[in-house]
Structure 1
Amino acid sequence: MSIEKHTGLKRLLFSINNSWAGVTDAFKTEDAFRHIFIFSTLLILISFTLSISKIEHVLLILCSFLLIVIELLNTAIETVVDRISLEIHPLSKRAKDMAGAAQLVAIVATLLTWLIVIF
Structure 2
Amino acid sequence: MRSPLSTRNEPADAHEPLGPDDPLAPLPFNPYKGNRGLTRAWHAMKNSLAGFRVAIREESAFRQELTLAAILVPCGLVVPVEPVARVLLLGSVLLVLIVELLNSSVEAAIDRISLERHELSRRAKDLGSAAVMVALFMCVMTWVLIVGPLVVRWTGMLMH
TM range (shorter): over 0.9
Equivalent residue for 1:79?
Answer: 108
Q: Which residue of 2 aligns with 1:70?
A: 99
- The whole-number CA distance in structure 1 between the counterparts of 2:67 and 2:37 is 34
Further displaced range: 72-81 or 40-49? 40-49
What TM-score do you get using the length of structure 2 for normalisation?
A: 0.71
Contact 1:74 1:103 in 2 (8 A): yes
Which piece of structure 1 moves more, 26-35 or 41-50?
Answer: 41-50
Asked whether the equivalents of residues 41 and 64 of structure 1 are also in contact (C-alpha less than 8 Å), the reply is no
Consecutive unaligned residues of structure 1, counting only runs of 5 or more, are: none
* Paired residue total: 119
CA RMSD in angstroms comes to 1.2
Q: How many angstroms apart in 2 are the aligned matches of 1:19 and 1:108?
A: 26
Query: What's the TM-score once normalised by structure 1's chain length?
Result: 0.94
Deviation at 1:2, TM superposition (A): 4.0
Give 1:31 shift.
0.7
Displacement of 1:3 in angstroms is 3.3
State how far apart, in whole Å, the 1-side matches of 2:57 and 2:116 are.
Answer: 25
AA matched with 1:107: L
The 2-side partners of 1:87 and 1:26 are apart by 23
Please state if 1:3 is matched with 2:34.
no
Distance in 2 between the 1:62 and 1:2 partners?
Answer: 37
User: Larger helix proportion, structure 1 or 2?
Assistant: 1
- Which structure has more RCO (C-alpha within 8 Å, separation ≥ 6)? 1
Task: Specify the structure having the higher radius of gyration (Cα).
Answer: 2
1:63-115 Cα deviation digits (max 9, x unpaired): 01101000000000000000000000000000000000000000000000001
